Chain A
Amino acid sequence: MLLSVDGLTRCYPGQNRNVLRGASFDLARGESVALTGDSGSGKSTLLHMLAALDRPDGGRIMFDGNDIAGLTDKAASDLRRRRIALVFQQFNLVPALTVAENLALHARLGKRYDPDWTKELSDRLGLSDLADRYPEQISGGQQQRVAIGRALAVRPDLLLADEPSGNLDETASAEVLRLMLELVSEAGSALFLVTHSHDIAARCARHLHLSGGRVEAAAG
């Protein structure tokens, strides 16, 4: 098992309400899992904890046999540089870098840069002609493709995606999702995708639902 989450709890500072109340689930290598839930249900919070960007108040997050819930900043950073990648709704590209530089950024940081693989990603994502442009010079759909390429260029064990098509129109959204699932599968990465769309969730191998601070298998 690549990821094993057990009894996660989390309460926001200054609030009495527990947003997570013992969330538990597993994720196998190469598996794609979608998580849905209402707004404010704690989907993004859970995703941040899986990326070791945030810490739970209780519970364990076993990643490849190691508990990552209490890692130091340095160890957590090291994990993200090499093994876990993220794709956000807001694309989060570095505006000062070109498309090509953004694509290679994560792999370079993790010292896992492979020019051939990055080039292939660039071609497959239809970014080759945009290499020298800056993020503000390309469309939202194109920006999200750069973000996906950047994440996969590092060949992560786990790709975490937070509403990756939330800012895109229907056509662009479908295209981006298709490419992401295809490339994740080819890279051998596991995918944990947070979305509010049941249609998108249905395209993943497994669909989980977060409700009342707990994770359960989605109905239907």
Chain B
Amino acid sequence: MNVTLHSFLRHWQRAPFQLVLLLAGLALATALWSAVQAINTEARASYARAVDELGARDLPVLTAPEATISLDHYVRLRRAGWQVSPVLEGQWQSGSEAVTVLGVDPLSYPGAPEMSRAAEDNDLDLLALLRPPGVLFAHPETLPDLDGPYHLLPMEQLPPGVVLTDISLAERLLDDVGRLSRIVILPDQPASLPPLDQIVPELQQNAASDSAMADPERLTRSFHLNLTAFGLLSFCVGLFIVQGSVTLSVEQRRGSIRTLRCLGVSAATLMQALFLELILLALLAGAVGLVIGYGLAALLLPDVSATLRGLYGAPVEGSLTLRLSWVLSGLAMAVLGTCIASLQAFIALRRMTRNLSDAAVTRSAGRTYAMCGAASVLLIATGWAALNLVQGLLGGFMFLAGLMLGAALPLSLVFYGLSSGLLRLTRAPLLRWMVADSRLQLPGLSLSLMALLLAVATNIGVGTMVSSFRLTFVEWIDQRLAAEIYVQVETPKQAERVLNWADRNGARALPQFRSDSRTATAPLRIYGVVDDPLYRDNWPMVRGDGNSWHRVYEQGQVLINEQLAHREALRIGDEVALTPTWTARIAGIYSDYGNPDGQATVALATLQDRASQIAVTQIGLVSPPGVSLGALAGSLRRDLNLPARAVVEKNTVRSASIGIFDRTFVVTGALNILTLAVAGFAMLTSFLSQWNRRLPQLAPVWAMGVTRRQLAQFELLRSLSFAVLTFLLALPLGLFLAWVLLNIINLEAFGWRLPMFLFPSDWGRLFLLTGVAAALAALVPVVRLLRLSPATLLGVFAGDR
């Protein structure tokens, strides 16, 4: 085995450039995949910390969907013998940063040992938590944002943006005394306790992660699935390079393989040697890929982190941790991918070892193309079946995978048909030779052209989706931000002061009252709005008519957001249960991008009449004629002594929202470009791997008087022609992909559909980019052709003996 493996490996010493291409292809594929995995793993670890709440995640909790939890509820439970722990949670403005404060009882909370340990590590005891000035625990990243005379202690287990402290200090920070957000039911309860619904009938028992903090992993699932899909696509495109290089290397060693067989090496030993060789190469390239992937992930993670915080409120650290599981899974993917990409090479080797008399094992082009056609139909049909049979996003992505691969497979068949048609139409001998020669190269180029088709179609599809989304989003936010100034208020008293101030200064006030509830399966936020023309005229409605608002104000009906309508399969005129005792008829459905949860909007009077716990969190103001927004906002801050962040002008909200949106798709854009680069690289690999086989075809034409310069021009023209044709075929595929993304994937992932717009200027840019990639890919063979010595070309004839 050693001698055989040595002979195999020595091939690469003679073909270093080919080895570099193979390793680079595999390393790139692994890099993109592992970068995405690193980002996802890091985000999930952060989510796990966020929802874990220091060990309280899996414990059931008591919440009050329609009422306040008071200390009295807690006392009643304790007196009845129940082992419970109170939690108060809220937003606290610390300096310029808002953080989530989690107030707990350090003596009973499940995370007490960690708190105690963190205190002891900083020379404090647990009692310091209860004594003034108090202790705030936070992730090291969050500590610099915290203000105040408190002991500030680091705690790695907490997610960024969350502060853990004693409940009495939390009450003071949040200015919310005597109220609880939830009560954690501890494990190990005494026997024979009275049932909870007898002691606290107004409270409801839920799983912790579902009731209090929305689980960020659930919210961001679609975002990560998108990233994973992109990573997988890049990985597959990279594997096309590996497939080409490995198959070529086996073909190149056909003679050596025959010789080794004649010298007594068994077929099994040859297969094992090839397998070992590939494993070695995969591990080497995988390791390089992991290094690149780690760097790439570190580069992209801050943007992803900002996106997830901004869009979903999901806490993700901006720094990357090297995890053994990530390294191992990256290497495993490299090995697995290499094995899959090398299947054809193994089959070719098997054939060689079985039939030594054959000079070459060839399959007729017709049979190959027929198989591609059949496989294409099968893949698309399987994808379609998956879309109808598999629920949710997974079905959507399976459909996409089937569609894309199914569309890419018959590419060679299309090119073959085109070249055959062109041959019939062309009379010029040189052009006929070029077309025939290009057709001869199709089998070797087909995989890289498929990779290019997939990359371009993905670029068009994702680009169209993002641009359509952005256009819709900007228009939507302009309509949705009806007021000119937005004031964040924290208490009813503060809200009243703002309303009085607006009245005195002639500003129109649009207070937004809200009540939190839940449907049978998920949280639901109900908003109550005053009757104002701004809502009637501007509110962006997906389904509804001119009378929708009239029915809201006059008949107590409700408007719901698109995601709630999709999730609960609701239509206009249906009844929706807003609370266990309140059902309302749907008057309209509105778009609500960026919000993962269900939302309902009713008239303020209706909300005040039907919901028991109402809070006002935001008040919109419309300035009186002749008063500038800046002046109005300034005097509001000054008169009511409000912090700068509490009073925000419409344009600031607008640009911040659009900023978040744009950052969301930075990663997508980066992966798009990288995928195209990998596809260009795949083309280069194919051109180079065909080089040795090209000489016997070029030499006779050269001998007949075609100059090397002309041959080089033909080479470039051929590469560009392939790229242009591939682009033209990718355009409709990409647009269909965009349609699927906007109407199927978005609907499953977020609960909303988006209108599709076309962006021809983007296609133009991509067309140029594809041309540049193809020209660059052809550059090396072109230069080689120009520098080709007559002796090399004559060598072809010498070898014809």
Contacts and interface: CB of A to CB of B under 8 A. Distances in A.
Contacts of A77: 261, 264-267, 269
B10 A97 contact: yes
List the 7 closest A-B pairs by CB distance, nearest first: A81-B264, A80-B264, A77-B266, A96-B10, A92-B259, A96-B11, A94-B256
Given A48-B357, A92-B258, A94-B256, A106 B263 contact: yes
Contact of B263 (A45, A48, A54, A109): A109
Given A96-B13, A134-B14, 16 more contacts: A48-B357, A53-B261, A53-B356, A73-B268, A77-B266, A78-B264, A80-B262, A81-B263, A85-B263, A86-B263, A93-B259, A94-B256, A96-B7, A97-B10, A106-B263, A109-B263
Interface in A140-170: 150, 167
Category for how many chain B residues contact A: 20 to 34
B255 A109 contact: no
A95 B14 contact: yes
B181 to A, nearest CB: 71
B423 interface: no
A109 B256 contact: no
Contacts of A101: 10
A51 B258 CA distance: 13
A95 B256 contact: yes
Nearest to B257: A94
B7 A94 contact: yes
Interface of B: 3-4, 7, 10-11, 13-14, 253, 255-256, 258-269, 356-357, 801
Nearest to A72: B266
A96 B256 contact: yes
Contact of B264 (A44, A96, A97, A110): A110
Nearest to B7: A94
Contacts, number: 77
A81 B265 CA distance: 7
A2 interface: no
7 contacts: A54-B356, A77-B267, A78-B264, A81-B265, A82-B264, A86-B262, A95-B256
Contacts of A94: 7, 10, 255-256, 259-260
Interface string A80-118: 111001101010111111000100011011100000000
Contacts of A74: 266, 268
A79 B255 contact: no
Nearest to A83: B264
A73 B253 CA distance: 21
Contacts of A54: 356-357
Contacts of B265: 77, 81, 109
Interface centre among A80, A93, A167 (most CB of B within 10 A): A80
Nearest to B270: A77
A39 to B, nearest CB: 15
B264 A106 contact: yes
A143 to B, nearest CB: 12
A155 B13 CA distance: 30
A73 B3 contact: no
A97 B13 CA distance: 9
A106 B259 CA distance: 10
B264 A109 contact: yes
Contacts of A90: 255
